[in-house]
Amino acid sequence: MPGTITSISYLQKHQLDPNPTAHIETSSLEYLHAAFLLYEYKTTYSKKEYRTLLDTYGWDKGSSEEKRAIKIAENFQQFLTCPQHLAAIPVTILLRLCSLQYKPIISQLQDYPIGGLTCKLVLELIEERKALLKTQKQEQQRQISIWRRTPKGDRYCQFPPQWEEDHQTGVLTQELIDGYGLLPQQILRAAIADYHAKIKSQEKEQPQEETAESEVVVVESGIPQEEISPTESEKAIEVNSRLKQKEQTSTSNVTEQQSVGEEVLMLAEKLKSATSYYQIRSAIYRHLAVKDEAWKQLSPEYQLRIEKLLPQEVLALQTARKTGLIIDYYELETGWFQVFIAGEDKPVSISKSNVISWVQEQERLNCVTT
């Protein structure tokens, strides 16, 4: 039945705050209180005592609701002293962040001040994470280049982040670092050299008939094969092989140049249409290899507009790179930065909150050295 002028609204009937968001925030905060309380009970009491306590409060141990609350409490332990920091995030999204796919976002939330988190912001972080994972999956499915260049033109190789459920690569590498004093670069170099030698050895062990088939040469001159001396035959094979290799290389280079050019233009367009730093960072994550080329495609007006969207930490690192204080930098999804400086074999890891002070310290040290 349609409402009339004399009917009482839901708001008036229940004497509510007219802002629906306020009720969601209250609901999320109360749920977080319940989750942290349950987790404390579970980790403090014995199993029997915990079950008795839940029965007293009317909870069913092992129920989906209890598991859900414990899961949130376990994954958001760093917010134990300030659950109000997460009040703006609905419980459904908090649960989503507990998944293996989006768990790294949780540590990013600590970089924002209390009251600075919004549901929209967290959803943007989720989309950014989703885009990064999609890019990583695509890179695994296609041949990618690990080569990068510093602003000065020096070439170096950079491997994509290693994502594993069991963290085997990281665990074993850390054991070698801690137990034997090795550098990650040494471990990587030795491991790849061994694997490369193994692959090459397997190739040499291929049956002789396969090798013979691969060296079949079509002699267009019409001279019977038996009339060609072994030396001439070898020369023909070599020439034919070089021609094929040159043709393949040429085709590959053209295709690669076209692909890179399209990617540069694509990233440039995304940067032009970006209205927030999250959109900028997400776009760069997807096309990291061509970020410098795409930046050059932008007009000074667009570059200025984008720079105004960048946080102070990124601007400080960009300035440091332009002045030669650092070689390059890379922002991790966790909010930390990997900074490459001259004379160091590995990048320096710096948290977002320490970037400004670190750059200032480097400027002071550089001034003293000079």
> Is 269 part of any domain?
no
Predicted model pTM: 0.40
Question: Tokens 């905060």 sit at which residue?
Answer: 29
Angle between helices 47-57 and 20-44 (to 10 degrees): 150
> Is 273 part of any domain?
no
Domain end, chosen from 88, 115, 141, is at 141
Residues 105-138: tens digit of each pLDDT: 998 888 788 778 888 889 999 998 888 888 777 7
CB atoms within 10 A of CB 354: 14
Residues 292-311: tens digit of each pLDDT: 888 888 888 888 888 888 88
Domain end, chosen from 141, 163, 197, is at 141
Q: How many structural domains comprise the chain? A: 2
Domain end, chosen from 118, 141, 164, is at 141
pLDDT of residue 321: 87
Average pLDDT, the chain: 77
> Is 345 part of any domain?
yes
> Is 92 part of any domain?
yes
> Is 81 part of any domain?
yes
> Is 173 part of any domain?
no
Checking if the pLDDT of 215 tops 70, the result is no
> Is 149 part of any domain?
no
Task: Name the residue among 74, 106, 83 with its Cα closest to residue 33.
Answer: 83
Residue 338's domain spans which residues?
A: 311-370
> Is 359 part of any domain?
yes
User: What is the rounded CA–CA span in Å between residue 31 and residue 60?
Assistant: 16
Q: How confident is the model at residue 96 (pLDDT cuts 50, 70, 90)?
A: very high
Q: How confident is the model at residue 19 (pLDDT cuts 50, 70, 90)?
A: confident
Q: What would the two tokens of residue 93 be?
A: 């999204």
Residues 252-286: tens digit of each pLDDT: 554 455 566 788 888 888 888 888 887 887 777 77
- Alpha-carbon torsion (95, 98, 104, 107), positive or negative: positive
